[in-house]
Amino acid sequence: MSALPSIAGSSRVTTQSYDVVVVGAGFAGMYMLHKLRGQGFSVRVYEQGGDVGGTWYWNRYPGARCDVESMQYSYSFSEELQQEWDWSERYAPQPEILRYANHVADRFKLRPDIQLDTRVDRAQFDEGANSWSVTTSDGNTVVARYIVLATGCLSNARMPDIKGLADFKGKVYHTGHWPHERIDFTGQRVGVIGTGSSAIQSVPVIAEQASHLTVFQRTANFSIPAWNAALTSEEREAFRAKYPDIRRFAREVSRNGIYTEVPDKGALDDGDSERRARYEARWSRGGLTFMSVYNNLALDKAANDTAADFVREKIAEIVKDPGTARLLQPNNHPIGSKRICIDTDYFATFNRPNVTLVDIKSNPIVEILPNAVRTRDKEYEVDALVLATGFDAMTGSVAKIDIRGCNGQTLNQKWTEGPKTYLGLMSAGFPNLFIITGPGSPSVLSNMIVSIEQHVDWITDCVTYMRERDIETMEAKQDAEDTWVAHVNEVAHTTLYPQANSWYMGANIPGKPQIFMPYIGGVALYRQTCNDVAAKGYEGFTMTAVEQPRKVAAS
Ligand code: N01
């Protein structure tokens, strides 16, 4: 296949063609572009946002920062990049991560191949030409051999369906779609609906500004202190010196793409005081690695209860009002079965005189009035509303695109009962369409950048392999996909994760099929599986050479 030159200007000619169209210019899309271009492929990236950065472009709410430590939540593909970029804090704030994304775009000269403010509306596979026809929101249609969905897992903000919301007279903000200008809540009565990670990060910051903050909680969440702090240059240098080991561990040893100790025993192998001392030590260290104190916290309910009890006790110690403390103690899901939150002073914020917690499980929101939130028992007057109500995760952004594969089947039709992929990378019936960190891969259960780099490298190797052999199409075999989907499901059900009504399960979206979407087998094992598949000539995929009729994927 010959690559056509890059397009110039904003021509509406429909014959423009590329080797690869990439959808999204977040961390996945940017690295995909860099890597493919390095192999001589022509690439066009479409990004609906006004700049690069993906989730970090949209999630600008007060207090937004990454819950993976910044020295690890960063690209590893360029030694120069990881040596030259100075993260200022243990957990980078959103503006700094966005600056990093922009630095990467400039440093690797990615911008000429990225078209901003442009949504991909439709992608249709042409079975005669073995190519994708991609239509964008500016009315253009281009042709590409491959399409890569780098659409992000948490980029489709979900507006709650609450009566009267449209008639609210004050400002309404969604944490996942925050305005670009600085929002100052000084002197305002603010209502926050939702108590997931986004609320847990934003509530302490909003509480410092608002005259009064009312937090509407349906489900209490487990949160571990971040103990965020400035990074010294000595700390950064020490980390950088160990980067080869840290990156190797994250990729090849870890379950979640994070460098930390590997636990060697279960929670019940220790006596009460030893166990408590270990939890205390991890609480004092803070962060996501709290869940790796023991090796069975995600597997054994009795073990999990010991960690959950410890955190519930901490909440009771921090929150002065016993009734409020009780409400803030999660009690309907195992710790870690919903994404654990990392906070700065979240629980202590409820000791402030200007903060009220409202339990909307027992006292549900009935409607939004022009100036208030009305629950069954009471009205709460507010001037502004913050919806921290989450995302249509993992599939939401893909579902918005009208993707049509072989025989006119849409991806949405195929995924009616839940997403079906082979390795999270491809879906049978959709040749030459790759997904980065899609359902069926470790994705949101991991340090996303580790998983993104693994997928981008694998996809690049794959299309290079195809080019070298004059292979035109590649497609997941139906039986390989069925086996993988069953495996993903089976592994999930060996853990406690399916016990929570989480967005991992699609449970936060009414009507969404409830299946556990990410692959829980761990980053290292998954990488090895993908490498083995490639080493066996892309086992489980059908590849068709130029000028051969495309074989229907065998089952
Ligand atoms: O969203 P969530 P999030 N009425 O879905 C409630 C990542 N992230 O944006 O649990 C009332 O977790 C809902 O209640 P319930 C991270 O992976 C990362 O906070 O359904 N309430 C819940 O409390 C995270 O897990 C960072 O009962 C309603 C909340 O809204 C993921 O994004 C920072 C409601 C939604 O919580 C999502 O987090 C922030 C309704 N109609 C986020 N609908 C980092 O640090 C929903 N809720 C990288």
DSSP annotation string for 276-344: HHHHHHHHHH-SGGGGGSSTTTTT-HHHHHHHHHHHHHHHHHH-SSHHHHHHHS--SS-TTSSPPEEES
Q: Given the CA of residue 64, which atom of ligand 1 is nearest to it?
A: 33
Look at residue 546 in the predicted model and tell me its pLDDT.
Answer: 81
Return the structure tokens found at 480.
Answer: 């390989």
Task: Evaluate if residue 2 carries a pLDDT over 50.
Answer: no
**28, 54 Cβ separation under 8 angstroms:** yes
Cα 198 to ligand 1 centre (Å): 6
Residue 343 Cβ < 6 Å to ligand 1: no
Kindly report, residue by residue over 197-227, the tens digit of the pLDDT: 999 999 999 999 999 999 999 999 999 999 9
Identify the residue whose C-alpha is closest to ligand 1 atom 16: 197
Residue 344 Cβ < 6 Å to ligand 1: no
What is the distance between the alpha carbons of residues 360 and 480, in angstroms, rounded to a whole number?
Answer: 44
Could you give the residue ranges of the DSSP H alpha helices within 335-400? 346-349, 396-399
In which band, very low, low, confident or very high, does the pLDDT at 548 lie, cut at 50, 70 and 90? low
Cα 193 to ligand 1 centre (Å): 10
* Phi, psi of 288, deg, nearest 5: -60, -25
Look at residue 5 in the predicted model and tell me its pLDDT.
Answer: 33
Kindly report, residue by residue over 366-409, the tens digit of the pLDDT: 999 999 999 999 999 999 999 999 999 999 999 999 999 999 99
In which band, very low, low, confident or very high, does the pLDDT at 9 lie, cut at 50, 70 and 90? very low
Cα 484 to ligand 1 centre (Å): 28
Cα 156 to ligand 1 centre (Å): 12
Residue 195 Cβ < 6 Å to ligand 1: yes
Q: Shortest CA distance to 195 belongs to which of 170, 169, 177, 222?
A: 222
CB atoms within 10 A of CB 190: 26
Look at residue 278 in the predicted model and tell me its pLDDT.
Answer: 97
CB atoms within 10 A of CB 2: 6
DSSP three-state, residue 4: coil
Residue with tokens 């069954």: 376
Cα 340 to ligand 1 centre (Å): 11
- H or E element in which residue 473 lies: strand 471-476
What is the distance between the alpha carbons of residues 62 and 198, in angstroms, rounded to a whole number?
Answer: 9
Return the structure tokens found at 472.
Answer: 């035109």
- H or E element in which residue 121 lies: strand 120-126
* Phi, psi of 10, deg, nearest 5: -120, 45
Task: Evaluate if residue 4 carries a pLDDT over 70.
Answer: no
Look at residue 14 in the predicted model and tell me its pLDDT.
Answer: 57
pTM for the model: 0.95
What is the distance between the alpha carbons of residues 210 and 218, in angstroms, rounded to a whole number?
Answer: 22
Cα 163 to ligand 1 centre (Å): 20
Task: Evaluate if residue 230 carries a pLDDT over 90.
Answer: yes
Q: Identify how many contiguous H helices and E strands the chain contains and give both numbers.
A: 16, 20
Q: Shortest CA distance to 207 belongs to which of 371, 332, 355?
A: 355
Kindly report, residue by residue over 79-136, the tens digit of the pLDDT: 999 999 999 999 999 999 999 999 999 999 999 999 999 999 999 999 999 999 999 9
Mutational pocket test of ligand 1: of 222, 338, 363, 389, the residue with most ligand atoms within 8 Å of the beta carbon:
389
Residue 191 Cβ < 6 Å to ligand 1: no
**540, 554 Cβ separation under 8 angstroms:** no
Residue 403 Cβ < 6 Å to ligand 1: no
Look at residue 196 in the predicted model and tell me its pLDDT.
Answer: 97
Look at residue 226 in the predicted model and tell me its pLDDT.
Answer: 97
Which DSSP state fits 426? B
Q: For strand 372-375 and strand 379-381, is the pairing parallel, antiparallel, or unpaired?
A: antiparallel
Look at residue 11 in the predicted model and tell me its pLDDT.
Answer: 40
Cα 278 to ligand 1 centre (Å): 29
Residue with tokens 């991609």: 134
Sign for the CA dihedral angle at 334, 338, 344, 347 comes to: negative
Kindly report, residue by residue over 416-475, the tens digit of the pLDDT: 999 999 999 999 999 999 999 999 999 999 999 999 999 999 999 999 999 999 999 999
Identify the residue whose C-alpha is closest to ligand 1 atom 38: 197
Cα 392 to ligand 1 centre (Å): 10
Q: Shortest CA distance to 390 belongs to which of 175, 143, 229, 144?
A: 175
10 Å CB burial of residue 289 (0-12, 13-18, 19+) is middle
Cα 220 to ligand 1 centre (Å): 11
Residue 155 Cβ < 6 Å to ligand 1: no
Look at residue 549 in the predicted model and tell me its pLDDT.
Answer: 58
In which band, very low, low, confident or very high, does the pLDDT at 155 lie, cut at 50, 70 and 90? confident
Residue 390 Cβ < 6 Å to ligand 1: yes
Identify the residue whose C-alpha is closest to ligand 1 atom 37: 390
Could you give the residue ranges of the DSSP H alpha helices within 17-146? 27-38, 55-58, 79-84, 94-107
DSSP three-state, residue 15: coil
